[in-house]
Amino acid sequence: MNKGYIKIGLALLSVASYMQNIAFARDMISFDKPPNEKDKYQLYFDPVAAKKAHEARIAKEHKQAEGIMTEALALAKKFAKHTKDYEPYSIDGEEPTIYFKRVNDTDIGKLEFTIPNADNYADLVNMLWDPNGQKYFDISFMGGYYPEMYNENLGIVQHRYASPVKNWPMFYHALAKKAELSKDKTVILLVSSNIDDCYYDFNKEYTNPIVKSANSYRPYVDSEDDIRNGRLFKIYVNFLAFIIEKEADCVKITYISSLNLDLAPGYPNHIARNILAKRILKATKLKDIFQGNKNISMWNLKKN
């Protein structure tokens, strides 16, 4: 055989052998290489451990939330008493009269009114605890839900409202509690803290001036994109309480509210008080909703 053909044949065999070695080496490298970060996560992630960690976090938050609302309930009972430091306030001199006082350099407003017919008690409690119940007496209300529930009477609520500023609605997250003190008396409480809700302005810090124990409570809420992107304006509930009492022929409502509307520094206090007063007065529309309720559940009728 020609020596030239022999050399060419040997060369081709060498190339083929070389390529096989490369392929084999590549497979070995792929098999033996250390995992990257994603691989490590997939390799070491333990769903059982993750579930236990989540449950432990929720249990800790739940215990802390109960303590906060114990303080808030004590404050509700205190603020409900008509003390001398309350000042009467009315819009354009008309009834009903709201009473204001300053607590820790913050306005707290209080309004008392009655709903005819004691049989409306349960429906009123259900409406005020429902995250969307405000739509029946507040035309600015846009919607609400509970992103976290620790139990059927305690959770975190989100409420949204239309704003005078076009296309920039307001929202807040607040710890919410329904406390049944007796068969004829229930208190519904809302308290904001510095909740981590993914708000676009992550440097924005909030300190509750009324409920001090709330300031160490910082749960995580996985908020919607419009909150993350800053298309909503964040406000806070310093303190809010609806005290609902069933009496002989009516239901008595004591409504106590303090809001942080995140107004500009130096914003006139009398204007801020007027804004809060108008928001408080919206609750009196409950009287119109339940005025004619004699034999049926108006709340259930509206829900259906």
Return the sign of the alpha-carbon dihedral for residues 208, 193, 237, 196.
positive
pLDDT over 70 (residue 85): yes
In the structure, what pLDDT confidence band is assigned to residue 267 with cuts at 50, 70 and 90? confident
pLDDT over 70 (residue 129): yes
Least confident of 78-82, 133-137, 197-201, 254-258: 197-201
In the structure, what pLDDT confidence band is assigned to residue 204 with cuts at 50, 70 and 90? confident
pLDDT over 50 (residue 208): yes
Backbone Cα Rg of the chain: 31
- To the nearest whole number, what is the mean pLDDT of the chain? 85
Per-residue pLDDT reduced to its tens digit, 25-72: 444 444 444 555 555 555 567 888 878 888 888 889 899 999 999 999
Least confident of 22-31, 58-67, 164-173, 223-232: 22-31
Q: Return the pLDDT at 50.
A: 79
Q: Return the pLDDT at 37.
A: 53
Q: Return the pLDDT at 7.
A: 47
CA 162 – CA 141 distance, rounded (Å): 6
Question: Average of pLDDT values for 267-282?
Answer: 92
In the structure, what pLDDT confidence band is assigned to residue 24 with cuts at 50, 70 and 90? very low
Question: Average of pLDDT values for 139-162?
Answer: 97
CB-based burial, 250-286: b 16+ in 10 Å, e otherwise: bbbbbbbbbbbeeeeeeeeeeeebeebbebbbebbeb
Domains of the chain in start order, with CATH, are 49-303 (3.30.530.20)
In the structure, what pLDDT confidence band is assigned to residue 203 with cuts at 50, 70 and 90? confident
Question: Average of pLDDT values for 159-168?
Answer: 82
Least confident of 7-21, 100-114, 248-262: 7-21
pLDDT over 60 (residue 17): no
CA 104 – CA 114 distance, rounded (Å): 30
pLDDT over 90 (residue 285): yes
With H, G, I as helix, E, B as strand and everything else as coil, classify residue 124.
helix
User: pTM score, two decimals?
Assistant: 0.81
Question: Average of pLDDT values for 237-261?
Answer: 97
Q: Return the pLDDT at 166.
A: 62
Cα 241 to its chain centre, rounded Å, is 16
Q: Return the pLDDT at 15.
A: 45
Strand partners, 173: 158
pLDDT over 90 (residue 201): no
